[in-house]
Amino acid sequence: MLSPVILITAILNGLLTGAVYALVALGLTLIYGVLHIINFAHGALLSAAMFAAFFSFTLLRLDPYLAVFVVTPAFFLLGYLLQRFVIGPTSRGDDRNMLLVTLGLSVVIENVLLYSFRADTRTIDVPYAFETLDLGFTFLPIPRLIGFGVVFLVALALWALMRFTDVGKAIRAVAKEKLGAQLSGIDVAHVYAMTFGLGTACVAIAACLLMPSYYVNPTVGNAFVLIAFTIVVLGGMGSVPGALIGGFVIGVVESLSGLFLGESLGQIGIFLIFIAVLLVRPTGLFGAKS
Amino acid sequence: MSISPFSRRSFLATSALGAATLAMPSVLRAQGAGVKLGILHPVSGALSYSGTQGRLGAMLAIEELNAAGGIKGLGKIDAVLGDALSTPEGGNAEVEKMNAAGVAAIVGGYASAICLAVSQAAARYDLPYVVDVGVADSIVTRGLKNTFRFGPGFGAIAKGAIENLAAINDGAGKPAKTVMIVHEDSLFGAGLAKLLNTELPGRGFQILETIAHPTPTRDFNNVVLKIKAQNPDLVIPANYYNEYVLLARTMQQQKVRPKGIYSVLGGAASSYKFVKEFPDAAKYIMDCNHWFDPKNPKALELKKKVEDKGQFYTYEVYMNYSAVLLAADAIARAGTADRPKVIEALASSTFAGHVMPYGPTKFVNGQNEGAAPCNTQVLDNDIKVVLPEKFAQTKPVFPMPA
């Protein structure tokens, strides 16, 4: 019954979905992979950013693709301040404390959203929401294609930032050897906050890309975060190409296992691949050997 | 060595204070004496939207009753609000608090799992409980004397949905022969899919495929791909709002337009919100769900009131509004807040002052026998009742015009 058309379309769908996963995972791989902060607030921040994109559209009539230029810096700042003045000082450098603080933050953010906007599911109606690219055998939604392109741009920018800029070098230095970095004059607290800010900015971009074709409610981010954690480990902690490729792999695997095993069991494929990779390559696909 | 600013003693003091705050009852009491009525909904957690809407309906009914002097001879209604936290345990905890607060009855619950737990907890105290929505049939089949369901149960809804679908199809000259079912994979969707799979073949429908999906599902492209490949005459979705939105949007995107989309319990044709936000995707969609009596002026008055508040007139609102009126009527007839007497009054209720198309209530083993769903369709950017004929505002348009 399964024709090649369905198979190819399912792979294309997987790639398009994987792009969004990759973007959420890019933010997480910086925070989780580089700084080893298990950021439980990542999903809540994604929900918050989606609300920001939503209200930019409904109140300021700002298209989500333009709102990206407002929401992203705002969330970079938010992430910076959160790490600098909340997570950093309260966790005192202890990984377990960070975990609890971010968990607490996620509860607070989700409930503030719930209190402010109710549990209502909201969507926006942009004129291009139903535009598609006709491939003859299937239609590819334009908003998802745009997302696909933007993910590569963001990944490229992040990679360049980590590779060629002082901030990137400082982040890598702190990740490798915190004390050594501190001794050579790097302001570790600032670098932590910058990294958290960058990770949060990625989430903001993902939010703006999702908004034209997805919905928002106070818990929407959670749907993406477990997947993003998986991608980070799969791709290799802190690896930008790893998050990107990992996102696409997970997207395609989810799509195909959904097709063959049924949507309800689609997730099984993801975790089978995940376990297999961990068994064969414990550092993930692109992770450096420690 | 670093010195922690927290001493063991201050840590103990802080955590004790924290524990005391957590243990404080979250039951909020409205001001005033009179009859205490427990209003219990999941207003936080996953079901909080529905819970909040339910509370809105209940409070509107209480406001109205109190404005008219409350319950005759007993005074104003004092709402004891409870949050079931979207879990059965949360519902149980609230029953304990409401019982301690001395409520005459509890109204609400919303989700089947919560209603099952709450009815049982309330039964221990002989506490009358009016279920607002919870459709699981077992809520009223366990022989609990205190539990009364105002709305229809799952079995009645599924039966009505299948009969009405056959009637609509037959009325149009049987244009629909093949069906695909897309359902969420928990009790509600899976149970319905199973029923449809047993019943529909006998009514002349061939089921091409039944697709289950989890909640939440992030992407419906594969599901729509399968629908497109098999090209059924009819698509029957049975899922929650978020997934419904994604499914309908993806179908529109992929230009999949079957002869009809017929939802059961939840779909575009029972959501003013969806119709407002996606008028094109919603057009001609049919639904079998809880719905108010469109010919009842009181129902329309309530609709206006809710919309003036900037809220959508969802089924949680009017079902809770009606359920509170029903409970208040029973307490008034009992003439006391004494629980066994209120239970007796509920059991013999013939209350007709609600806004649902049920007729006067008649409870048999706790189930309101007249309760039935309506069939609605999105026509002219509005939701119209098309069946049952007694309440219909217009005839169904089927198949969907191309």
Q: Measure the CA–CA gap between B273 and B204, rounded to whole angstroms.
A: 34
Element (H, E) at A185: none
Determine the pLDDT at residue B33.
58
What confidence tier does A5 reach under pLDDT thresholds 50, 70, 90? confident
**For residues B54-73, b (16+ Cβ closer than 10 Å) or e, as one string?**
bbbbbbbbbebbbeeebbee
**What number of residues does chain A have?**
290
**B51 chain-A contacts, CB cut-off 8 A:** 119
**What number of residues does chain B have?**
402
Of A130, A138, A219, the CB nearest to B252: A130
pLDDT in tens, A178-187: 889 999 999 9
- Interchain CB contact of B307 with A (< 8 Å): no
Determine the pLDDT at residue B368.
96
Element (H, E) at B183: strand B178-184
Chains A and B: how many Cβ contacts under 8 Å? 87
Of A125, A223, A263, the CB nearest to B212: A263
- Interchain CB contact of B177 with A (< 8 Å): no
Element (H, E) at B82: strand B77-83
Taking CB atoms and an 8 Å limit, are B246 and A215 in contact across chains?
yes
To the nearest whole angstrom, how far is the Cα of B331 from the nearest Cα of chain A? Answer: 33
pLDDT in tens, A199-243: 999 999 999 999 998 899 898 898 888 889 889 888 888 888 899
Of A130, A215, A264, the CB nearest to B214: A264
pLDDT in tens, B178-220: 999 999 887 778 888 998 999 999 999 999 999 999 877 888 9
The mean pLDDT value of chain A amounts to 89
Average pLDDT over residues A118-130: 84
Determine the pLDDT at residue A1.
55
Written as six digits, the tokens of B65 are 């009753």
Taking CB atoms and an 8 Å limit, are A17 and B221 in contact across chains?
yes
Determine the pLDDT at residue B265.
86
pLDDT in tens, A257-275: 888 888 888 788 888 888 8
Determine the pLDDT at residue B208.
96
Beta bridge mates, B36 = B78
CB contact at 8 A, B127 and B95: yes
CB contact at 8 A, A139 and B254: yes
Q: Minimal CA–CA distance to B234: which of B161, B291, B184?
A: B161
Q: Which amino acid is at B98?
A: M
Determine the pLDDT at residue B26.
41
- Let me know if A172 is exposed, middle or buried by CB neighbors in 10 A (0-12, 13-18, 19+): middle
- Interchain CB contact of B245 with A (< 8 Å): yes
Helical H runs in B254-314? 272-277, 279-282, 297-308
DSSP designation for B201: G
Of A120, A129, A264, the CB nearest to B49: A120
**B246 chain-A contacts, CB cut-off 8 A:** 214-215
Average pLDDT over residues A145-152: 93
Helical H runs in A177-265? 178-183, 188-210, 222-235, 240-261
Q: Measure the CA–CA gap between B259 and B350, rounded to whole angstroms.
A: 42
Q: Measure the CA–CA gap between B215 and A13, rounded to whole angstroms.
A: 19
- Interchain CB contact of B171 with A (< 8 Å): no
Of A119, A123, A224, the CB nearest to B49: A119
Determine the pLDDT at residue B30.
40
Taking CB atoms and an 8 Å limit, are B49 and A224 in contact across chains?
no
The residue of chain B with its CA nearest to that of A112 is: B44
To the nearest whole angstrom, how far is the Cα of B277 from the nearest Cα of chain A? Answer: 7
Contacts of A121 (CB under 8 A, 6+ apart): A215, A216, A217, B49, B241, B242, B245
DSSP, residue by residue, A77-96: HHHHHIIIIIIHHHHTT-HH
**A17 chain-B contacts, CB cut-off 8 A:** 218-219, 221
Determine the pLDDT at residue B55.
96
In angstroms and rounded to an integer, the radius of gyration of the C-alpha atoms of chain B is 23
Domains and CATH numbers, chain B: 28-152+296-368 (3.40.50.2300), 155-289+374-391 (3.40.50.2300)
Residue of B231, B253, B306 to mutate, testing the A interface (most A Cβ within 10 Å of its Cβ): B253
State phi, psi for A127 to the nearest 5 degrees: -60, -25
Domains and CATH numbers, chain A: 4-280 (1.10.3470)
For the question of an ipTM over 0.90, the answer is: no
Written as six digits, the tokens of A90 are 């309260």
Residue of A17, A92, A111, A130 to mutate, testing the B interface (most B Cβ within 10 Å of its Cβ): A130
The residue of chain A with its CA nearest to that of B216 is: A223
Determine the pLDDT at residue B22.
40
CB contact at 8 A, B207 and B200: yes
Residue of A215, A217, A256 to mutate, testing the B interface (most B Cβ within 10 Å of its Cβ): A215
Taking CB atoms and an 8 Å limit, are B229 and A119 in contact across chains?
no
The residue of chain B with its CA nearest to that of A227 is: B218
**B218 chain-A contacts, CB cut-off 8 A:** 17, 223-224
Q: Measure the CA–CA gap between A184 and A186, rounded to whole angstroms.
A: 6
Give every residue of chain B whose pLDDT is below 70, as ranges.
1-33, 267-268
Q: Measure the CA–CA gap between B196 and B99, rounded to whole angstroms.
A: 41
Determine the pLDDT at residue B335.
92
Taking CB atoms and an 8 Å limit, are A119 and B52 in contact across chains?
yes
Taking CB atoms and an 8 Å limit, are B249 and A223 in contact across chains?
no
